[in-house]
Structure 1
Amino acid sequence: MKLRYWIHTIRIHTLLLSCSGITLSFLISQSIKNVSFTTYVLSILTALLLQILANISNDYGDSITGVDSFKRIGPKKTIERGYISLLEMKKAIYVFSILSFFSGFLLLYQTLLWNNVFIFFMYFIGILLCIYSSIKYSVGTNPYGYVTGMGDLFVLIFFGILSVEGSYFLYTQILSIDVFFLSLSIGLLNVGVLNVNNMRDLDNDYEKGKHTIPVWLGMKYAKLYHTIIILTSIFLGIYFMLMNQKIIYNWFFFIFIVIFLILHIKEIIYMKEKKMFNLELKKLVIFTFLYGISIGIGFIL
């Protein structure tokens, strides 16, 4: 049975990242108007399919380029282990590309219909760009995930701005500058997850020519970069809370999660053993999801 290897490949423990921004914007939208739950479900489904596409494409791309080697500290990819062939992974990329497209198109059709052809067209192009970017991160000539800073930038855009502000518009048909700043907050936490991953594999990436931010900065300054990312995210979250405060519960849930984020920063700064980055990565995925939920639930209450 290869099912468990496919489960390993899609990296279930990271999929909460796809849900965090979309769920946050849904909860905030619900505090303003009655939002279609179908739109929320289709948004989540599309985001999950796109992240799975990105994860299996990453497995495929890193195997072809040789980045995924026995020296890698992170979980070994299934192709490198010989559990799934390159051809099987390539077929999976095609399948999830098609599924992502149809899920995204159904979302747009159900949400926007043809009331505004321009907006529908822009979101349609956005779906195609999301699919292309999910694959191009690690696959093809000059994948952008191997270029310094590009992976971080695209994570900020797709897991932050598009996830929060983009879905918020689908829910409400409104663009909000406050929600935009909140989308940057969530996006930066997702960038933090990527940075932990890259700090963990710094030595292997340097040897294989994958030019991530930690490879460029070195471990000492990569930790400083990480600290700035998380603190900036928190400050943006505080700004949003100040601009939209309703009741004390908003701050109660928010501060509770912020404490864990501060403790996470402390763990990263004093970390000596690279294998421990795996634990902090998983913790930050959960903290990112709970961070979004804490703000959203505060608004619902």
Structure 2
Amino acid sequence: MGMTIWIRGARLKTLPLSIAPVLIGASLAWRDAGEHRVAVAVLCGFVALLLQVAANFANDYSDGIRGTDAGRSVPVKDADDSAAAGKTTPSRGPARLVASGVNPRKVLAAAGISALAACLCGLAVIALTGYWWFILVGIACLAAGWFYVGGKHPYGYHYLGEVFVFIFFGLVATCGTMFALSGTITPDGLLGGSVAGLVAVAVLCVNNLRDIESDCNHGKHTWMTAMGLRNGTIFTIAILIISALLALHHLLQSSIYAANGIPLIALITILCVAQIAASYAIARKTYRRALPLCSLDSLTVAAIFVLSTMLA
């Protein structure tokens, strides 16, 4: 599989979603972390990143062979050229590998290699921390990634995709990192996991808003197909706002200003700009722009936690 195809399949624009919860969890646990804290934190980051890449390839494979990605296979460059020529394009989304002609076995192999690499990093975390029960967490993560749209009864086709994204991209990634470093999970960890999870759900909702018509035609039931375009748009913007308010709540509870004199207005401004940019793109239905903006928003809220906990 060539590098260009690998980059398309990995969906680099969404990868901040896997880094943000690790940053949040690591920052909250940093002061109580053990001697291997740098190595454990980095390895947790690789586990999250590689699991997301594996899930992206697995989703591309499963949706591709099921036919759900039919009509979504026009690459962005070709879509722009077609639009310039006055032709109709079947999708506003990125090209899907299987649907655009890539051998499904290669896509499945890429998913397997990424998952294997994630497992190796996970085993290194276990070796450093001694928490052997993390193996069960890893198995749960792998199962969640595969059965999202894989298998005979994928939960992503039955209104559960958003729920599992919140759990695994939010609570599990954040609290798992925190526990690996400090051996404990605090209320702030649950709050940070919820913030990261809400942003991840928003990204999934943007993706599903873009594909709402195709999903309806192929029997893929998501929260967006249930709510419809208008209500789904309002809901997506609302959960982005809620995530920002929760991050702001954490910021206001910290002692960062008294200890470092960092202006409140600067952090709030950064957060607001990121939220407004993402919300505006969603409202305008410019999903190709909204998707990376929402993904980057996860790093913005993560930065709030990092600054408010590590500089206090």
Rate the CA distance shift 1:34–1:253 in 2: closer, same or farther, 3 A: farther
Equivalent of 2:122 in 89, 93, 104: 104
| Residues 262 and 87 (structure 1), Cα distance of their counterparts in 2 relative to 1, 3 Å cut | closer
Map of 1:291 onto structure 2: 301
Matches of 1:17 and 1:252 in 2, distance apart? Answer: 25
| Cα displacement (A) at 1:268 | 4.7
> Is 1:77 equivalent to 2:88 in the alignment?
no
Q: TM-score, normalised by structure 2?
A: 0.86
Q: CA separation of 1:253/1:22 partners in 2, compared to 1, >3 Å: closer, same or farther?
A: farther
Q: Which residue of 1 aligns with 2:15?
A: 15
Paired residues of 1:253 and 1:295 also in contact (CA < 8 A)? no
Residue 261 of structure 1 contacts residue 287 of structure 1 at CA under 8 Å; is this kept in 2?
A: yes
- Residues 1:55 and 2:56 are matched in the alignment: yes
1:265 CA drift (Å): 5.7
Q: 2:271 aligns with which of 239, 248, 258?
A: 258
Q: How does 1:263-282 map to 2 (within 5 A)?
A: 263-264=276-277, 266-268=279-281, 270-271=283-284, 274=285, 276-282=286-292
Q: CA deviation at 1:44?
A: 0.8
The DSSP-based 3-state class of the residue aligned with 2:221 is: coil
Stretch of structure 1 that moved more, 125-134 or 21-30: 21-30
Deviations 1:199-232 (A, max 9, x none): 1111111111111111110011101211321122
The equivalences for 1:1-301 within 5 A come to: 2-31=2-31, 36-70=37-71, 71-82=90-101, 84-111=102-129, 113=130, 120-121=132-133, 123-148=134-159, 150-247=160-257, 248-249=261-262, 251-252=264-265, 254-264=267-277, 266-268=279-281, 270-271=283-284, 274=285, 276-301=286-311
Contact 2:278/2:290 (<8 A) preserved: no
State the alpha-carbon separation in 1 of the partners of residues 182 and 40 from structure 2. 11
CA offsets per residue over residues 88-144 of structure 1, 9 Å max, x none? 122223322322222212111212x2xxxxx532x2101011011111111111111
Deviation at 1:56, TM superposition (A): 0.1
Q: 2: distance between equivalents of 1:249 and 1:166?
A: 30
| Letter of the structure 1 residue corresponding to residue 69 of structure 2 | D
SS of the residue corresponding to residue 159 of structure 1 reads helix
**Alignment TM-score, normalising by the size of structure 1:** 0.89
Are the counterparts in 2 of residues 251 and 298 from structure 1 also a CA contact under 8 Å?
no
- Per-residue CA deviation, residues 237-267 of structure 1 (Å, 9 max, x unaligned), is 2332233333253845541332124413641
- Counterparts of 1:57 and 1:126, CA distance in 2: 19
How far apart are the structure 1 equivalents of 2:3 and 2:61?
Answer: 17
Gaps of 5+ in 2: 72-89
Answer whether contact 1:193 1:285 (CA < 8 A) is retained.
Answer: yes
* CA distance in structure 2 between the partners assigned to 1:268 and 1:152 by the alignment: 21
Q: How far 1:32 moved relative to its partner?
A: 5.2
CA contact (8 A) 1:22 1:43 kept: yes
Q: Aligned AA for 1:26?
A: A
Q: How many residues align?
A: 289
Percent of aligned pairs with the same amino acid: 25
What are the Cα deviations for residues 40-70 of structure 1, in whole angstroms up to 9, with x where unaligned? 1110111111001100001101101111122
2:262 partner SS = helix
Q: How far apart in 1 are the matches of 2:283 and 2:242?
A: 20
Q: Secondary structure of the residue that 1:79 maps to in structure 2?
A: coil
Whole-angstrom CA distance in 2 between matches of 1:97 and 1:191? 22
Secondary structure at 2:18 match in 1? helix
**CA root-mean-square deviation:** 2.0
User: Which residue of structure 2 aligns with residue 116 of structure 1?
Assistant: none
In structure 2, relative to structure 1, the CA distance for the partners of 1:253 and 1:16 (3 Å cut) is farther
